[in-house]
């Protein structure tokens, strides 16, 4: 499903269950030592997806360990992103010569509580979501907003190495499956050009809200 949202340079692997024959790396197992069963399953399967995506790019298998903010650390010359939620695990990778940043996110497609929506959104975003809901009430736009903000952060952090708050990107959706994220802080510089807006795509299918951003090199 996520492949429909990604540029052709991206290798992606998704699963809707957990692998029974995953062979995790010892370094990865140390990360999840003491974690709950669901966390261990999703972590292992997402890493299995990542290694299959590496193979599609002609790369040897390698452990994918978290950095200081939990971000996956990829082999040199690769950008990537991982997402997992109930019933879905996915990894996407691309050569750094094609993309400077990559962010994917999947969330269960269900409503978010109003208080939570207020905590992750700007007033103008909530007004725009209300207008979208008038046109298509079948979409849980607040959940989609949360997913898009997660995808934005997954592009932002590896490039900037600092946090980006929910209120520091203004996201607007189009009904045609596209969205923009206007960065409210100075963003990365790509090819000597400051990036002020990220462009992504979204989809709602099979009970999932999916978002993806590929920042071209």
pLDDT in tens, 31-63: 999 999 999 999 999 999 999 999 999 999 999
Q: Please, which residues bridge with residue 12 across strands?
A: 92
Q: What is the average per-residue pLDDT within 166-175? A: 98
User: Over 90: is that where the pLDDT of 126 sits?
Assistant: yes
Give the separation between CA 85 and CA 100, rounded to whole angstroms: 25
The alpha carbon of residue 214 and the mean position of all alpha carbons in its chain are separated, in whole angstroms, by 10
Angle between helices 123-135 and 141-160 (to 10 degrees): 140
User: What is the edge-to-edge ordering of all strands in the sheet holding 88-95?
Assistant: 11-15, 88-95, 78-85
Asked if residue 51 lies in contact with residue 62, where contact means CB atoms within 8 angstroms, the answer is yes
Q: Which residue has the higher pLDDT, 193 or 21?
A: 193
**Percent of the chain residues topping a pLDDT of 70:** 99
Domains of the chain, with CATH numbers? Answer: 2-104 (3.90.470), 105-216 (3.90.470.20)
Residue 68's pLDDT is 87
CA angle 3, 4, 9 (to 5 degrees): 55
User: Over 70: is that where the pLDDT of 109 sits?
Assistant: yes
Q: Which residue has the higher pLDDT, 22 or 206?
A: 206
Give the separation between CA 143 and CA 17, rounded to whole angstroms: 22
The two tokens of residue 21 are: 């024959």
Q: What is the average per-residue pLDDT within 64-87? A: 95
How many Å is the Cα radius of gyration of the chain? Answer: 17
Q: What is the average per-residue pLDDT within 121-139? A: 98
Supply the mean pLDDT for the chain: 96
User: Over 90: is that where the pLDDT of 135 sits?
Assistant: yes
Residue 21's pLDDT is 65
């Amino acid at each position: 499903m996520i492949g429909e949202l990604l540029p052709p340079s991206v290798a992606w692997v998704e699963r809707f269950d957990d692998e029974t024959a995953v062979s995790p790396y010892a370094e990865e197992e140390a990360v999840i030592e003491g974690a709950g069963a669901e966390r261990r399953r999703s972590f292992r399967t997402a890493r299995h997806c990542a290694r299959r995506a590496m193979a599609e790019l002609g790369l040897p298998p390698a452990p994918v360990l978290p950095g200081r903010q939990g971000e996956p650390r990829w082999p040199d010359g690769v950008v990537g992103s991982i997402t997992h939620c109930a019933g879905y695990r996915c990894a996407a990778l691309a050569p750094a010569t094609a993309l400077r940043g990559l962010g994917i996110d999947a969330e269960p497609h269900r409503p978010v509580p109003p208080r939570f929506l207020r905590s992750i959104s700007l007033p103008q975003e909530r007004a725009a979501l209300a207008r979208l809901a008038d046109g298509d009430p079948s979409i849980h736009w607040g959940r989609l907003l949360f997913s898009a903000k997660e995808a934005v952060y997954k592009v932002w952090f590896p490039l900037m190495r600092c946090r980006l708050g929910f209120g520091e990107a203004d996201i607007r959706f189009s009904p045609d499956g596209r969205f923009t994220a206007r960065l409210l802080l100075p963003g990365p510089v790509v090819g000597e050009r400051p990036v002020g807006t990220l462009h992504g795509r979204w989809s709602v299918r099979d009970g999932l809200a999916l978002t993806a951003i590929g920042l071209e090199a």
